[in-house]
Amino acid sequence: MPELPEVEVVRAGLAPAVTGATILGVEVFDPRALTRHAGSPADFEARLAGRAVRGTARRGKFLWLMLADDPAAGAEALMVHLGMSGQMLLRAPGAPAERHERVRFAIAHPEHGELAVVFADQRTFGSLAIDPLIPTLDGAAGGFGDDAPLVPAQAAHIARDPLDPAFDDAGFRRALARRSSAVKRVLLDQSVISGVGNIYADEALWAARLHPETRAADLSTRAANRLLAEVRAVLRKALAEGGTSFDAQYVNVNGEVGYFAHSLNAYGRAGQPCPRCGRAIVRVAFTNRSSHFCPRCQRVR
């Protein structure tokens, strides 16, 4: 599933093409792409036609396009959840249908002219929805990419991500101290810290020399600070390399893959030598996922 770096790469790619553009029309080819939308496909198409896009924003793994206010509905956004295989692609007007294309938007930009924005999704776990924007609880910007203290209602329960200027470091340390569950489980809890999934949790824990099953409450303040610093470092490095692509399901808006898979130290490297000590990386079951770690560098404390 795309994590913060992959979703941010998509947001950044969409921003110059859609900010200031007008949605000329929408075609929904598969209603499964609208599972989070409260209305019908016809309602989705009608409410977006003619709307202007004010910009793009992201919180954790959630991406949205801010829409010009509707006098009847107020402030709204087009929510985009990529799920496991969702893609937002920029194409020329009239371009052939993409494989697994679910929804197509025709837009007109005052500088770039007309474009097609395609939502493609092989596994159909992603979704689009028109969602009301509501005030943030802390009064800070709702997400990266926009200064307005507004967030879509469907993303309001999602914690801020560690690259968000308004992320509460002390609050994160308190959340760790209150939990007796494994530290990796806390990293994956989107109500505590958003944007981190299985890949970057394993990478940050490897960098911080912490076993994924270490009890969160057992971490010292120093260890918690080190972990948070490594989470940020691995996310920033992944962003710089365009995200992680293991197959063609994750691509940017131009259909290009990311290269962070070549920089992974633990995730997906079972049986290969640890880059730090040479011991073989192991893979163990973790809920419905897997954990990858070095049994020498990352011992349970």
Domain with CATH 3.20.190.10 in the chain: 4-155
- For the chain, which ranges sit under pLDDT 70? 1, 72, 244-262
User: CA 241 to CA 5: how far, in whole Å?
Assistant: 9
User: CA 192 to CA 214: how far, in whole Å?
Assistant: 17
| pLDDT for the residue 259 | 47
Q: Which residue has the tokens 């409410």?
A: 47
**Average pLDDT across the chain, whole number:** 92
> Is residue 100 a known part of a binding site?
yes
User: CA 158 to CA 131: how far, in whole Å?
Assistant: 15
Domain with CATH 1.10.8.50 in the chain: 169-293
User: CA 80 to CA 148: how far, in whole Å?
Assistant: 18
Rg (CA), the chain: 20
| pLDDT for the residue 51 | 96
3-state secondary structure of 45: helix
| pLDDT for the residue 255 | 57
The catalytic site residues sit at 2-3, 61, 289
- pTM metric for this prediction: 0.91
Q: Return the beta strands (E) in 110-224 as ranges.
A: 113-121, 127-135, 150-152
At the top level of CATH, the class of 169-293 is mainly alpha
| pLDDT for the residue 37 | 97
Q: Which residues share a beta bridge with 27?
A: 104
E strand or H helix at 8:
helix 4-18
> Is residue 236 a known part of a binding site?
no
> Is residue 262 a known part of a binding site?
no
Phi, psi of 88 (to 5 degrees): -115, 115
User: CA 3 to CA 250: how far, in whole Å?
Assistant: 10
| pLDDT for the residue 244 | 62
Nearest to 161 by CA among 191, 138, 195: 195
Domain 4-155: CATH superfamily, name plus number:
MutM-like, N-terminal (3.20.190.10)
Nearest to 27 by CA among 107, 132, 90: 107
pLDDT tens for residues 250-292?
556 665 555 466 678 999 999 999 999 999 999 999 888 899 9
Q: Which residues share a beta bridge with 70?
A: 74
Q: How far apart, in Å, are the Cα atoms of 78 and each of 33, 133, 153? A: 13, 10, 11
